[in-house]
Structure 1
Amino acid sequence: MKVEIWSDVVCPWCYIGKRRFEAALARFEHRDSVEVEWRAFELDPTAESATASRGGDDYARRLAAKYGTGLEQAQGMLDSMTQAAAAEGLDFHFERAVAANTADAHQVIHLAAGHGLQDAVKERLLRAYFTEGEAVGDRDVLVRLAAEAGLDAAEVRAALAEDRHLADVRADEAEAAALGVRGVPFFVVDRRYGVSGAQPADQLLAVLERAWAESRPLTLVPAAEGGEACGPEGCAI
């Protein structure tokens, strides 16, 4: 069974949703038969990347400007997300966050898929952005982080220089638009169910179980002698 997850590496609910999905998958009886693929989605394709943090309240100011709210209300949103992240074992530090265009990060995640390291790279980039304050829009930083997750640094640098996976990123985004994805994380389970948002682990588990059952209907074995049974009209004699 395949689960495709559209998300962005600068999306706080995507990181929280990743943890909740992992919790659901850990409880899923058939987890070893599940293939997970991370798909690209840019929250802001026009974003400009910075190379260093601009100050403690910069993220709150950017959030306030984006949603047309006051700084205090924006900070309250960040505090709420930080608490939600902590409940999932994540340590968010929005005061360290560095503005980033994430197209290159998604290219690296696509490259990682070919090496069986997609989840490791995705996790490294999320932690780098939300916890460590790394500039995930900077190619030199991306090369280093990808290497820490197991990729070859020279290959990553060459792939970025050639924009080798940019078409793949754009294809993911086009497919998201075709599916009607308006926000992330967005989970597509076995091309049967779409789940929007960082849903609780219990709900994600229920979707996994339902999709599994529907994709593998029960096959009845022809009855043989000695297979007597009881039914509404009585028992075989």
Structure 2
Amino acid sequence: MSEKRMVEFVFDVACVNSYLMFTRYSRAVRRFRADGGEVETSLLSYRFQPDIDPGGEPLVETHRRLLGEEEAREVQATTDFGAAEGLRVDFTRVVSTNTFEAHRRIAWAVRQERGEAMTERLFRAYFTDGVNVADPEVLARLAREAGVEPGADGPEEVRRELDRVRGLGFVRESVPAFRFDGERVMAGQRTEDELLAALAG
């Protein structure tokens, strides 16, 4: 096999396509490693709605306000998103909220080599469990479940990292995205096989 691949994944916890791509990429990585490949993944935080209230509101209300009643109903009626990947996404339960503190927990987890476990747990909490991932008590419970201890990264460190990722040129329309070895970028929805091919390439 060739030298270790370095992959950066740009995502937001509140982005359902990020959840889907995280899941497909995780499976592609397992297949890649099973064939003898080596890969190191860096999790790069991005926020779609940095000014949203951490108090949270039902996603259906957010959709009504931003998309209109008819489109909001269509989104809420979607029950099979991610089903083929084994995901259970329930838009009727999602609490739309600020993801800053969720990304802060991921920063803690990364330093403890639990970044991917924390990220998966936060995605599932947001899209399946219907909990507010800005709530300190919820975050403490999710961190414990992912095996993550409180870390030293404070709000300023997280803000600097969020600003750094934006400074790399990633914008709302290009997230989720993968950057391979600091060069090739793959954005939007990709299949598991496409991601595996990019790893092998």
Kindly indicate whether residue 46 of structure 2 is the aligned counterpart of residue 49 of structure 1: no
The residue number in structure 2 matching 1:217 is none
Secondary structure, aligned partner of 1:94: coil
Q: Deviations over 1:43-64 (max 9, x none)?
A: 111011226xx5xxx4233124
68, 73, 76: which is aligned to 2:74? 76
Taking a change above 3 Å as real, the CA distance of residues 44 and 193 of structure 1, as seen in their structure-2 partners, is same
Structure 1: distance between partners of 2:160 and 2:84: 34
Displacement of 1:117 after TM fit? 0.5
Q: Specify the alignment match of 2:186 in structure 1.
A: 195
**Whole-Å separation in 2 of the counterparts to 1:140 and 1:189:** 36
Q: CA deviation at 1:78?
A: 4.5
User: Could you tell me the percent identity over the aligned residues?
Assistant: 34
Deviation at 1:38, TM superposition (A): 1.1
In the alignment, the residues of structure 1 paired with residue 84 and residue 161 of structure 2 have an alpha-carbon distance, to the nearest angstrom, of: 30
For residues 117-138 of structure 1, the C-alpha deviation after alignment (integer angstroms, 9 at most, x for no partner) is 0111111111111101111001
Partner of 2:83: 86
Unaligned 5+ runs, structure 1: 211-237
Tell me how many residue pairs correspond in the alignment.
Answer: 194
The structure with more radius of gyration:
1
Question: Deviations along 1:55-97, whole A, 9 cap, x unmatched?
Answer: xxx423312422xx332222323545x4231121110112111
Give 1:6's aligned residue. Answer: 10
2:105 corresponds to which residue? 108
**What is the DSSP-based 3-state SS (H/G/I as helix, E as strand, rest coil) of the residue aligned with 2:95?**
coil
Counterpart pick for 1:169 among 145, 158, 162: 158
Q: Secondary structure at the match of 1:202?
A: helix
Aligned to 1:63: 63
Q: CA RMSD in A?
A: 2.0
Distance 1:79 1:88, change over 3 A: farther
Equivalent in the alignment of 1:19? 23
Q: Which fold has the larger relative contact order, with Cα–Cα distance below 8 Å and residues 6 or more apart in sequence?
A: 2
Contact 2:122 2:142 in 1 (8 A): yes
Between the aligned partners of 2:123 and 2:36, the Cα distance in structure 1 is: 23
Give the SS at the match of 1:37. Answer: strand
Structure 1 counterpart of 2:169, from 169, 177, 180: 180
- Amino acid of the structure 1 residue aligned with 2:163: A
Q: For 1:170 and 1:196, how far apart are their aligned partners in 2?
A: 23
Conservation of the 8 A alpha-carbon contact between 2:176 and 2:187:
yes
Q: 1:25 touches 1:31 (CA, 8 Å); kept in 2? A: no
- Which moves more between the two structures, 181-190 or 27-36? 27-36
Among 21, 28, 33, the residue aligned to 2:32: 28
TM-score normalised per structure 2: 0.87
Task: Return the alpha-carbon distance in structure 2 between the equivalents of residues 129 and 105 of structure 1.
Answer: 10
User: Given the two structures, how large is their TM-score scaled by the length of structure 1?
Assistant: 0.74
Aligned AA (2:106): I
Q: Which residue of 2 aligns with 1:37?
A: 42
